[in-house]
Structure 1
Amino acid sequence: MLKPLFTYQNKEKLKSRKIIKYIFEEGKSIKTYPLLIRYVESELEYQQVGVSVSKRNFKKAVDRNRIKRQLREAYRLHKSQILDKNKSYSVMILYIGKTHLESEKIHKVMHTLLNDIK
């Protein structure tokens, strides 16, 4: 039975501090405003993704959480672009913008950035 493609399962959530530290020390990065993606190739059979929004730019937790939800949703809908490459990656998605953008713009940027991951 095939797994549904548009899911964001618990095993896909990047929670390991060691892996996150490794991504920031050794990983590659690609940037298109308002997103920065840092990634490393992983030995796991599945992708792992974490999202982050700066507290410096968005003081209210409500605003940060909304942007994180939008980032996860954009990833969930466009993750097939990474899966087609037959490699797995550990990815951190950082929102570096200082203002809140509409979901459509975030989706467009996520689409282009996920295509650029090699």
Structure 2
Amino acid sequence: MYTFTKEERLCNKKLIDELFRSGSSFLCYPFKASWLVVNQPQKFPAQIVFSVSKKRFKRAVVRNVIKRRMREAYRLNKQTLLYDSLLGADKQIVLSIGYIGKEVGDYSLIEKKMLKLLTQLNTEVLK
């Protein structure tokens, strides 16, 4: 239940290109979420990629810390806030969450904002 496996990570270049070309997006500071409903059968209802700007955060260590915090907040909250409703609506999505904040947020801030983002994503996808 609280896992984040390889199959949940978005690695397919064609899907990533399609996501940024024709997907929908919204801001939920310090995140920018882009999503796209897909018709291809997947093992999980959502595939996701996390990104942090190299331009804004020069050091890889800092970028990795931010991505690690984002992944952990997503992993702990995806089931209740996203997967249950996607499975109920029989939809599958690909998702990109980019960190656009200017400073490194601590985990409690990132988790609080991730909860808000997943709730907003849930309402956007199910409209």
One-letter code aligned to 2:3: T
Greater helix fraction, Structure 1 or Structure 2? 2
1:35 aligns with 2:31: yes
Give the match for residue 108 of structure 1: 112
One-letter code aligned to 1:66: V
For residues 90-118 of structure 1, give each alpha carbon's deviation from its aligned partner in whole angstroms, at most 9, with x where no partner exists. 11110001110011111111111111122
SS of equivalent to 1:37: strand
Give the 5 Å matches for 1:66-105. 66-80=65-79, 81-85=81-85, 86=87, 87-105=91-109
Give how far 1:25 is off.
1.0
Extract unaligned runs of 5+ from structure 2: none
Cα RMSD between the aligned structures? 1.0
Give the match for residue 25 of structure 1: 21
For residues 13-62 of structure 1, give each alpha carbon's deviation from its aligned partner in whole angstroms, at most 9, with x where no partner exists. 11111111111111111211100110111332412110000000000000
One-letter code aligned to 1:72: R
Count of aligned positions: 114
Runs of 4+ in 1 over 6 A off after TM superposition: none
One-letter code aligned to 2:21: E
Contact 2:7/2:43 (<8 A) preserved: no
Give the match for residue 48 of structure 2: 49
Q: What percent of counterpart residues are identical?
A: 38
TM-score by length of 1: 0.91
TM-score by length of 2: 0.85
